[in-house]
A and B are shown apart, each in its own frame.
Chain A
């Protein structure tokens, strides 16, 4: 399972960076979304994968004695997903506005703020 996740994470990062390096604005956003998903999986993997051991203590004992699934990475991923949802929906609306105003999807045409002195 770990090995599979590692390959998926690598693939998502590679695909995300490839998309970021394209010239199209829309593909850039897709790249950022892919990267975001890759990072969420990375948090999941680095929080250690434990199968079927919920972090629930028996009524009798007071501390964990066995290995258990860490709930924190899930909370982190959930937060990151919610934040990502907000940022990505904003970014999509933004590129739509930019496309309407500037009538181009090519990032190379967006350099007037850089070129003028």
Chain B
């Protein structure tokens, strides 16, 4: 189906960024405008999702150049679901940022950059061209560079150096991969590549190219041995930035991995072995790192790595059932991780510290808020019937089906260690008796805020908690959605057919 409106989510975020750039410096207006525009963006995300869900894959050829020559934008079920999730996360982060970020940071243009970042994400999810994917990745990283340094604290700058260097290196690897792919096939359109790569006899060259993509996406999505930039940098920026980073930036790497390894490099045995080993080690190292640390931001940072490992394991097994698990986990993880970083920001706002040894007594002083915070924490562990449980069920089923017993063992181990970490966080932060806190952090504390100020901080957490409860209790909808996505991914014939059959439109 040809529909030139599917680029609307990208363009709308760009327009929002432009509007916010024009109101530069006037923070009050920026806050309101950003929240309003991201609400409309969320509406557009829902519209696109429903359109794709009801009418199937939609394609547009930008510039009216027919398929393998121009840049194609494709909205399939996977892409449109990710667009919807990104708009949900963007909406809640924009509300949370309006309440939690200091004025000095907002004055440096936080809101326009947030919208540029989301534009990059939407573009990456909707593009059907591998070089265009690179361009969107660069849009994402350049906005994230500025967001991670915004405010310019000492720790932030230190973290930023590591983040910037490793991400630039990842872009270079990605570009080398694209150069090889273009040299081998003479095409950049992903659907066209899918057919052309299968025809190449020299499998060694394909493996080398695939490994380059693996390293590039591996750095972006923080898998073992390439994750060291993440725990060094993700806890340094303010919670609103951490939320959007933790929720979406590593997941876009996973998205790119799923997309390229199911479409272009499908059925590569060598690759899926490497992916499985990396996945197992990622789960283990992420979980061990989370057990060791005391700073909430760092614990959640390592948990991101651990759970990236789960999704990688699904990609490594490469069966339809395992991909269902990966997609389900992706949906669950984006919502929950965004929420968790906001929760950690809320805890910082209430208590002035994020060290779990110094925290305590939250359950006694703020019982309702604690119950609210329990939802993302225990969804993450996957206690049935909360959302994490169903995804893991599919991983295990998929693993049993393809006889990947050692991966199942690592997934179960990873889940246990996550449970251990979350139980520790729960007992230290919420159940332990309150310690007399040294007043460390400057700025306004939670109890000093007006009631609107409090609600602005709590509402996005409630919003995302309701969504993750829905994912848990309404799991059948998400499962049927994930099954549809997985069958589209594993049988890409209709995707290829839809993209390549589009001809030039006569005016």
Direct contact of A and B (CB under 8 A): yes
Question: Which A residues lie at the B interface, using CB under 8 A?
Answer: 20, 25, 28, 32, 35-36, 39, 42-43, 45-48, 70, 72-73, 76, 79-80, 83, 86-87, 90-91, 94-95, 97-98, 101-102, 107, 110, 112-114, 116-117
Q: With A90-B142, A113-B236 as given contacts, are A32 and B295 in contact (CB-CB < 8 Å)?
A: no
Q: Which of B135, B142, B188 contacts A72 (CB 8 A)?
A: B188
Interface string of B140-172 (1 = CB under 8 A from A): 011001100100101101111110110011011
B179 A83 Cβ-Cβ under 8 A? no
A-B contacts, CB under 8 A, total: 97
Chain A to chain B contacts (Cβ below 8 Å), 28 pairs: A20-B169, A36-B172, A39-B172, A39-B176, A42-B176, A43-B178, A47-B182, A70-B186, A72-B188, A73-B182, A80-B175, A83-B138, A86-B138, A87-B141, A87-B168, A90-B145, A90-B146, A91-B164, A98-B158, A98-B161, A101-B154, A102-B157, A110-B161, A113-B162, A113-B232, A113-B235, A117-B293, A117-B294
Q: Smallest distance from the beta carbon of B106 to chain A beta carbons, Å?
A: 19
Q: How many residues of B contact A (CB 8 A)?
A: 42
**B438 contacts the other chain (CB 8 A):** no
B142 A86 Cβ-Cβ under 8 A? yes
> How far apart are the CA atoms of A76 and B179 in the complex, in Å?
9
For chain B residues 217-237, which have a beta carbon within 8 Å of chain A? 231-233, 235-236
Q: Smallest distance from the beta carbon of A65 to chain B beta carbons, Å?
A: 17
Q: With A39-B179, A47-B182 as given contacts, are A117 and B292 in contact (CB-CB < 8 Å)?
A: yes
Q: Which of A32, A48, A94 contacts B160 (CB 8 A)?
A: A94
> How far apart are the CA atoms of A87 and B172 in the complex, in Å?
12
A97 B145 Cβ-Cβ under 8 A? no
B158 A112 Cβ-Cβ under 8 A? yes
Q: Which residues of A contact B108 (CB under 8 A)?
A: none
Q: Which residues of B contact A79 (CB under 8 A)?
A: 131, 135
The B contact surface, by secondary structure, is helix
**B183 contacts the other chain (CB 8 A):** yes
**B265 contacts the other chain (CB 8 A):** no
Q: Smallest distance from the beta carbon of A32 to chain B beta carbons, Å?
A: 5
Q: Which of B131, B162, B180 contacts A46 (CB 8 A)?
A: B180
Q: Smallest distance from the beta carbon of B143 to chain A beta carbons, Å?
A: 11
For chain B residues 194-235, which have a beta carbon within 8 Å of chain A? 231-233, 235
Q: Which residues of B contact A101 (CB under 8 A)?
A: 152, 154, 157
B161 A95 Cβ-Cβ under 8 A? yes
A42 B157 Cβ-Cβ under 8 A? no
> How far apart are the CA atoms of A55 and B292 in the complex, in Å?
60
Q: A83-B135, A87-B141 are in contact. List 5 more A-B contacts (CB 8 A).
A: A35-B169, A39-B176, A72-B182, A79-B135, A86-B138
Q: Write the chain A residue with the least CB distance to B146.
A: A90
> How far apart are the CA atoms of A45 and B182 in the complex, in Å?
11
Q: Smallest distance from the beta carbon of A88 to chain B beta carbons, Å?
A: 8
Q: Write the chain B residue with the least CB distance to A99.
A: B157
Q: Which residues of B contact A42 (CB under 8 A)?
A: 176, 179
Q: Which residues of B contact A110 (CB under 8 A)?
A: 158, 161-162
Q: Which residues of A contact B157 (CB under 8 A)?
A: 94, 97-98, 101-102
Q: Write the chain A residue with the least CB distance to B293.
A: A117
Q: Smallest distance from the beta carbon of A35 to chain B beta carbons, Å?
A: 5
